[in-house]
Structure 1
Amino acid sequence: MIGITGATGQLGGLVLEHVLARGVNAARLVALARRPEALDERARAWGIGVRRADYEDPAGMIVALRGIETLLFVAGNAPTWPRLEQHRNVVLAAREAGVGHVVYTGFVDHDSDSPFPFAATHAAAEAWLRGSGLDWTFLRNAIYAELLEREAPAARGSGSFGRVGPQTPSLWATRSELAEAAAIVLLEPAPHAGRAIQLDEGRAWTGQQLAERIARASGRAVEAVQLDDASVRAGLVAIGAPPGLVEAMVGMHGSLEQRRFAAPSPALGELLGRTPTSVADVIDGALAH
């Protein structure tokens, strides 16, 4: 059986849909969620199994993972320290339950010394899986391109774009195509055992290039601006972002400035068997109206 954690979330839910779209017998699928009631109606329509799986309940996780042969382990969404414990719980439960292969959805920045605090949680999850005795595959996902669906119109209105520094490279991919790639690996995990696969569009975009694309699509001048940490923090506080998210995004800004998103990979296109959706197309679509 194939188990998909985070099945009520955006990424996990899309993976579930992509697996079903490939003609898999629904009886082979188990949707795992902290709140399974949020999935029950859809699950009944699809004919898939549903189990409660709370990363903070180690004993319950073991029960939820019994009989699962291949597991999609979607990274937790708690603050840094609780997330570390969550990830450890999942790995230990998978081993205890007899899971054969774990496919972990991580992030391009997976270094424990990164200023982005969640990078350490990805590093820890990968280390625990490497030492677990289980087969594993790491999917190191790029930044969700869907963020630009909000950022591009805002930049058109303000005339400035500061998400990424003018000369700072960044890597992107659509959530749907990242989910599709995960579904492909889940259905045939053996060829990908022991692989760490970076998934991005296949090119890096600097802030200047993103600003130019927004300007071209909107017909308005848009300047790429360089923000410091204090400006990033102040902007997030001004919109009421919670403190943990504020510090995470400030760390993400630092990670980008350290050029941790500079080296693109062809792997997403190779898995999909086609050219991935371009950031340019995402921006154009966001500004089409």
Structure 2
Amino acid sequence: MIVITGATGALNGATVEHLLARVPAEELGVSVRDVAKARSFADRGVRVRRGSYEDPAALRDSFEGADQVLLVSSNDPAADAVALHRTAIEAAVDAGVRRILYTSHQNVRRDSPFAPARHHAATEEILAGSGVAWTSLRNGFYAHSLSWLLGPWRETGEIAVPEDGPVSWTHRADVAEAAAVILAGHTVDGPVTLTAPTAVTFDDLAAGRDVERVVVDDEQWVAARIAGGTPEAVARMLLTLFTAARRGDFAETGPRLGELLGREPRPVAGELA
């Protein structure tokens, strides 16, 4: 059995949909906070059980009988993500899971200015020491993030953000499908980088469009985000995305995503159409 956590979310929910086209529904399970939100899966024969990274006993029950478990990483900026991930990994081990898969991020590093990259690095260390087979899906930055990073650029005619660097903006739908391919039998050991085939800057994205690229001072950008309603802690975390990009931390690209999909990944240009 394959069990997917976070299956009512956009990423792992899409992975379940792709798996339903590849394996029998009775071989799939989902571990979710609210089982009512997973009714559509239950109606199609998927096992639905309640599970939460804050409840080890419930997690172990939701992982019962699983050969593989896909753990979605925590996206709560206020949570102790590494502690939550450790709980989930330990619950999977206790439940007898043979392989743990985890949604990580490209170029995870303990010294990264981007906090999620540090959390992913620490989680991968826990996976490596878990005693079971593991796969870390090092996904590229999700291209849909551009819509809230860039703000109303169509109305203003400006892409006004801090100095950046090349980023391999990657479509979430593509990595969700690739995860399903791996779970359905294309086994990968350890970390695998899943990114778009090219990395671009905001200058690149502005080129050929009726829009101007404006470099905004870091603190001015943070102040503007806070004024627009973004909590300061979140705004400063987002700023570290630009800081890390300047170092080239997100410039890595590779062919694995396309190989798994059997086609070229979607281009980032579509997000700005």
From 123, 126, 129, the counterpart of 1:128: 126
Shift of 1:275: 0.6
From 185, 197, 200, the counterpart of 1:202: 197
Task: Determine helix, strand or coil for the equivalent of 1:162.
Answer: strand
Q: 1:8 to 1:244 in 2, by over 3 A?
A: farther
Shift of 1:184: 0.4
Task: Determine helix, strand or coil for the equivalent of 1:143.
Answer: coil
User: Could you tell me how far apart the structure 2 residues matched to 1:64 and 1:187 are?
Assistant: 19
User: Could you tell me how far apart the structure 2 residues matched to 1:121 and 1:172 are?
Assistant: 20
| Residue identity in the other structure for 2:159 | F
User: Could you tell me how far apart the structure 1 residues matched to 2:131 and 2:75 are?
Assistant: 25
> Which deviates the most, 63-72 or 177-186?
63-72
> Which deviates the most, 256-265 or 240-249?
240-249
Q: Deviations along 1:178-223, whole A, 9 cap, x unmatched?
A: 1000000111153x123x111111101011101115x1xxxx2x12
Aligned residue number for residue 5 of structure 1 = 5
8 Å contact 2:65–2:95 — kept in the other structure?
A: yes
RMSD, aligned CA:
1.8
How does 1:53-68 map onto structure 2 within 5 Å? 53-68=51-66
Aligned residues: percent identity?
37
Q: Deviations along 1:121-152, whole A, 9 cap, x unmatched?
A: 10111000001011111111111112335567
User: Could you tell me how far apart the structure 1 residues matched to 2:108 and 2:78 are?
Assistant: 13
From 233, 254, 262, the counterpart of 2:243: 254
Q: Deviations along 1:4-61, whole A, 9 cap, x unmatched?
A: 0000111011111111123x11000101111222112x02321111011100112221
User: Could you tell me how far apart the structure 2 residues matched to 1:132 and 1:16 are?
Assistant: 25
1:35 aligns with 2:34: yes
| Residue identity in the other structure for 1:211 | A
TM-score by length of 1: 0.89
User: Could you tell me how far apart the structure 2 residues matched to 1:127 and 1:133 are?
Assistant: 11
| Residue identity in the other structure for 1:54 | S
8 Å contact 2:162–2:218 — kept in the other structure?
A: no
User: Could you tell me how far apart the structure 2 residues matched to 1:163 and 1:229 are?
Assistant: 8
Aligned residue number for residue 148 of structure 1 = 146
1:273 aligns with 2:266: no
| Residue identity in the other structure for 2:185 | E
Runs of 4+ in 1 over 4 A off after TM superposition: 149-153
| Residue identity in the other structure for 1:185 | I
In structure 1, list runs of 5 or more residues that go unmatched: 285-289
Q: More helix per residue: 1 or 2?
A: 1
Task: Determine helix, strand or coil for the equivalent of 1:277.
Answer: coil
Aligned residue number for residue 169 of structure 2 = 172
8 Å contact 1:162–1:227 — kept in the other structure?
A: yes
8 Å contact 1:110–1:123 — kept in the other structure?
A: yes
Q: 1:134 to 1:276 in 2, by over 3 A?
A: same
Aligned length: 273
Task: Determine helix, strand or coil for the equivalent of 1:202.
Answer: coil
8 Å contact 2:150–2:160 — kept in the other structure?
A: no
Q: Deviations along 1:217-259, whole A, 9 cap, x unmatched?
A: xxx2x12222332123112202211233222212222111221
Q: 1:90 to 1:189 in 2, by over 3 A?
A: farther
8 Å contact 1:164–1:207 — kept in the other structure?
A: no
User: Could you tell me how far apart the structure 2 residues matched to 1:100 and 1:49 are?
Assistant: 19
